[in-house]
């Protein structure tokens, strides 16, 4: 039987690309929901627990940092 699972590395790269493409806070909120969905995927859940939390934490921090940068730009303009 064919294995149709997407490799977890490909999923992570794709989510990072989505996060990097965010230009509004609404898009960042959508990216955060994408991270929530990613964290439930079997390919991610099967990882070592420390690696799992590190990956998810890093993505969330990236979203938070981008959101603060956007708010700062808004306040300074």
As a whole number of angstroms, the distance between CA 47 and CA 18 comes to 22
Per this entry, what is the length of the chain?
A: 77
**Alpha helical stretches, state H, 1-77:** 8-20, 25-39, 42-45, 49-76
The per-residue pLDDT for 3 is 66
Residue 35: CB atoms within 10 A of its CB come to 20
Total-model pTM: 0.85
The pLDDT mean for the chain works out to 92
Mean pLDDT, range 12-36, rounded to an integer: 96
Which two structure tokens, joined as six digits, stand for 26? Answer: 């609404």
Q: What is the distance in angstroms between the CA of the first residue and the CA of the last residue of the chain?
A: 57
């Amino acid at each position: 039987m064919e294995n149709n699972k997407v490799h977890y590395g490909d999923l992570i790269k794709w989510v990072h690309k989505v996060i990097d493409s965010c230009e509004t806070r609404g898009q960042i909120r959508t990216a955060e929901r994408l991270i929530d969905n990613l964290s439930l995927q079997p390919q991610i859940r099967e990882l070592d627990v420390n690696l799992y939390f590190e990956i998810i934490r890093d993505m969330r921090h990236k979203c938070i940092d981008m959101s603060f940068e956007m708010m700062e730009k808004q306040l300074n303009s």
